[in-house]
Amino acid sequence: MTLHPLVLLSPHDSQSIDSAFGEDGHVRAVEGAGWAVARAIRARYAPCKTVVVCGPGFNGADGYVAARWLEVWGWSVVVLAVAAPKKDSLVEVIARSWRGRTFSEDGGRIANADLVVDAVFGAGLSRPLSDGLSHILRQANRLVAIDVPSGVCGETGRLLGSVKKAELTISFIRPRPAHFLEPAKALCGEIVCADIGLPADAVNEVKPRVFLNEPGLWLLPVADRGDHKYSRGVVSICGADKMTGAVRIAAQAARSSGAGLVRILGGDVALYRHSEPGLIVDDVPIGEAVKDSRRQVWLCGPGLSNAEVEAYLPQLISAGKTILADAGALGTGAEAVEALRGVSVITPHMGEFRRLFGALAESPRIEAARQAAQCVGAVVVLKGSDTIIAAPDGRVAINQHASPALATAGSGDTLAGIVSALLAGGMPAWEASCAAVWLHGDAGIAAASEYGGWPVVEALEKGLGRARQRAEKHQNAKNYKNLPFARL
Ligand SMILES: NC(=O)C1=CN([C@@H]2O[C@H](COP(=O)(O)OP(=O)(O)OC[C@H]3O[C@@H](n4cnc5c(N)ncnc54)[C@H](O)[C@@H]3O)[C@@H](O)[C@H]2O)[C@@H](O)CC1
Ligand SMILES: Nc1ncnc2c1ncn2[C@@H]1O[C@H](COP(=O)(O)OP(=O)(O)O)[C@@H](O)[C@H]1O
Ligand SMILES: [K+]
């Protein structure tokens, strides 16, 4: 058994791995980690005046090993030991293998160095970084971080103090959630992940719950000779009377991402009938429509008023439909949360999330999304530049594959349409949501390159067929070449 390539390691997972290493194994792991750090640096920088700032734990230990290798390769290296390792600890033994110049006071060395290596604290930091330490690191001109820039909480991406931005961050085995979560993400620079070996026992110890959202985490259904429109899936969308554009955008996105049939029910029926000819428009009561067992998947929310949501949502829930609730269906406070019980997926942006869940919005986004998913019993897609997809069972995916070009009105409706199409295609809710976020991001990246960075929302749907094709290609690849970090 191996660890899935898309797993992101929490500090807790790392501790489980470290205990599986045993003492000898741990020394080998630190040797491997320090060597990887030195190699990653050597591959990117010419030999220069370097200060390695070492803390008291294993992050510091990696720093001592990296210093040793850089010096072997002829670099001018000094260590600034900002805290001594614990007496008689393994870190102390490893630190002694560094025989070069060591200082305990900065004395202006950091400001004068060409390169500073931050080996002070790793991802498991539990207390805020002291002002003294952050002052020292902030003087660096160019910084390379081991594991995470010191002061970053590896699990949540929160900053525990004032953190200096790194140009390069080198992590081990698998990246950390923080490497892809704001605000930490913006401070990590290029991410390199080094393979330092993993004891077989460790794989069983790690219970991965956080993943990078890339093809291979999920599998899209592929086109088959025997397909017919019902096998590809039917999406039904609750029609709005006034904000009809949102409904049409969602409908087009659902069709462009593979739904066999998309129907709009109610709202401004005349307008919908005169819009895209591929749409089917119904003017029957919702109570009638839910009796059709082929119409299992419903999108409720884009463009809808409160009154419209009240007319649709309870009937859909009591009919046991698979529901995606977005926009207008995401109301205010505990009563609105209660009204959502029974839906499969909700897709709030941060404003909608705050309105629904109040104080929970103040928690780190990954924790907030996970708790909200447990609270509603639905998949929560917390949108943003680092969209988080949380399942009620605790699984979380973090999406990187996106573009700021998506920050345009109606882009959320596009996403809702894609999720609906994948649900209708038979994917489970979390997988459908993850895949949809990736396809949406891919369409955004493609539209940005085609329209000079500033596409209108209607351009997104045009990229969805190709996005799906790219996802199918990558999801079948064994080598995971297209990840947003380099591998060593
Ligand atoms: N499994 C893995 O992922 C591996 C991780 N390795 C390294 O191991 C590191 C983790 O090692 P540790 O768990 O020793 O963590 P750290 O090296 O971050 O050190 C934690 C130590 O600092 C103290 N501390 C925490 N916050 C503090 C604060 N604000 N002020 C002062 N002291 C504070 C703690 O009490 C503890 O003694 C990783 O960052 C990575 O560099 C590698 O050596 C090999 C394998
Ligand atoms: N800077 C960004 N980088 C990547 N994706 C973004 C960015 N800004 C917004 N998005 C994405 O665009 C979509 C916007 O959705 P939403 O706010 O609901 O828009 P609307 O309600 O106008 O349709 C979300 O999927 C979000 O993740
Ligand atoms: K560090």
Report yes or no on 280 lying in a domain: yes
Residues in the chain: 488
Ligand 1 lined by 173 (C-beta under 6 Å): yes
Distance CA 380, CA 373 (A): 5
Report yes or no on 91 lying in a domain: yes
pLDDT (mean) for 369-389: 98
How remote is the C-alpha of 441 from its chain's centroid? 12
Number of Cα atoms under 13 Å in the Cβ half of residue 479 = 3
* CA 389 / ligand 3 centre spacing (Å): 28
pLDDT bucket at 174, cuts 50 / 70 / 90: very high
**Whether residues 48 and 157 fall in one domain:** yes
Report yes or no on 214 lying in a domain: no
Q: Which among 208, 237, 270 is the end of a domain?
A: 208
* CA 405 / ligand 2 centre spacing (Å): 9
Backbone angles phi, psi at 182, to 5 degrees: -75, 150
- Which DSSP letter does residue 171 get? E
- Which DSSP letter does residue 74 get? T
* CA 383 / ligand 2 centre spacing (Å): 6
**Whether residues 267 and 179 fall in one domain:** no
* Ligand 1 probe mutation, 12, 121, 171, most atoms within 8 A of CB: 121
Which residues on adjacent β-strands are paired with residue 39? none
CATH code of residue 400: 3.40.1190.20
Ligand 2 lined by 409 (C-beta under 6 Å): yes
Q: Which of 242, 214, 350 is nearest to 306 (CA)?
A: 242
Q: Of the ligands numbered here, which is closest to the C-alpha atom of 144?
A: 3
**Whether residues 196 and 307 fall in one domain:** no
Ligand 1 lined by 172 (C-beta under 6 Å): yes
Q: Of the ligands numbered here, which is closest to the C-alpha atom of 438?
A: 2
* Ligand 2 probe mutation, 350, 356, 380, 383, most atoms within 8 A of CB: 383
pLDDT at 22 over 90: no
Taking only Cα atoms into account, the Rg of the chain, rounded to an integer number of angstroms, comes to 25
pLDDT at 272 over 90: yes
Report whether 404 contacts 385 (CB < 8 A): yes
Q: Which domain holds residue 160?
A: 11-208
DSSP notation for 337-390: HHHTBTBSEE---HHHHHHHHGGGGGS-HHHHHHHHHHHHTSEEEE-STT-EEE
Question: Please, is 263 exposed, middle or buried when counting C-beta atoms within 10 Å of its C-beta (0-12, 13-18, 19+)?
Answer: buried
pLDDT at 465 over 70: yes
Which of these ranges, 137-146, 255-264, 473-482, has the smallest mean pLDDT? Answer: 473-482
pLDDT (mean) for 455-476: 95
pLDDT bucket at 198, cuts 50 / 70 / 90: confident
Report yes or no on 6 lying in a domain: no
Please give the pLDDT value at position 77: 98
For 41-77, the pLDDT digits (tens) are 999 999 999 999 999 999 999 999 999 999 999 999 9
Please give the pLDDT value at position 407: 96
Please give the pLDDT value at position 24: 84
Q: Which among 176, 208, 240 is the end of a domain?
A: 208
Annotated binding site for (6S)-NADPHX: 58-62, 122-128, 147, 246, 303, 349, 413
* Average pLDDT of every residue of the chain: 95
Distance CA 253, CA 262 (A): 10
Distance CA 385, CA 395 (A): 19
**Whether residues 298 and 172 fall in one domain:** no
pLDDT bucket at 476, cuts 50 / 70 / 90: confident
Please give the pLDDT value at position 413: 98
pLDDT at 101 over 70: yes
**Whether residues 181 and 292 fall in one domain:** no
Q: Which among 208, 240, 274 is the end of a domain?
A: 208
Q: Is residue 331 helix, strand or coil? A: coil
* CA 124 / ligand 1 centre spacing (Å): 6
The most confident of 21-30, 203-212, 322-331, by mean pLDDT: 322-331
Report yes or no on 5 lying in a domain: no
Which residues on adjacent β-strands are paired with residue 309? none
pLDDT (mean) for 157-162: 96
Residue type, 190: E
Report yes or no on 358 lying in a domain: yes
The count of structural domains within the chain is 2
Our CA dihedral for 257, 262, 266, 272, rounded to 10 degrees, sits at 80
pLDDT bucket at 15, cuts 50 / 70 / 90: confident
Distances (CA, A) of 46 to 79, 322, 483: 19, 57, 26
**Whether residues 195 and 286 fall in one domain:** no
Report yes or no on 220 lying in a domain: no
Report yes or no on 151 lying in a domain: yes
Please give the pLDDT value at position 25: 85
pLDDT (mean) for 86-110: 95
**Whether residues 177 and 269 fall in one domain:** no
**Whether residues 191 and 235 fall in one domain:** no
pLDDT (mean) for 353-381: 98
**Whether residues 76 and 184 fall in one domain:** yes
**Whether residues 164 and 277 fall in one domain:** no
CATH code of residue 199: 3.40.50.10260
* CA 410 / ligand 2 centre spacing (Å): 8
**Whether residues 29 and 159 fall in one domain:** yes
**Whether residues 309 and 445 fall in one domain:** yes
Residue with tokens 């330490």: 133
Tell me which H or E stretch contains 279: none
Please give the pLDDT value at position 152: 97
Q: What's the 3-state SS for 235-250?
A: EEEECCCCCHHHHHHH
Question: Please, is 89 exposed, middle or buried when counting C-beta atoms within 10 Å of its C-beta (0-12, 13-18, 19+)?
Answer: middle
Distance CA 106, CA 81 (A): 9
Q: Which of 97, 95, 191, 92 is nearest to 145 (CA)?
A: 191
Q: Which of 305, 300, 247 is nearest to 273 (CA)?
A: 247
Annotated binding site: 58-62, 118, 122-128, 147, 150, 246, 303, 349, 383-387, 412-413
Residue type, 250: A
- Which of the two residues, 405 and 2, has the higher pLDDT score? 405
- Percent of the chain exceeding pLDDT 90 equals 89
pLDDT bucket at 319, cuts 50 / 70 / 90: very high
Please give the pLDDT value at position 1: 63
For 224-233, the pLDDT digits (tens) are 898 899 999 9
Ligand 2 lined by 411 (C-beta under 6 Å): yes
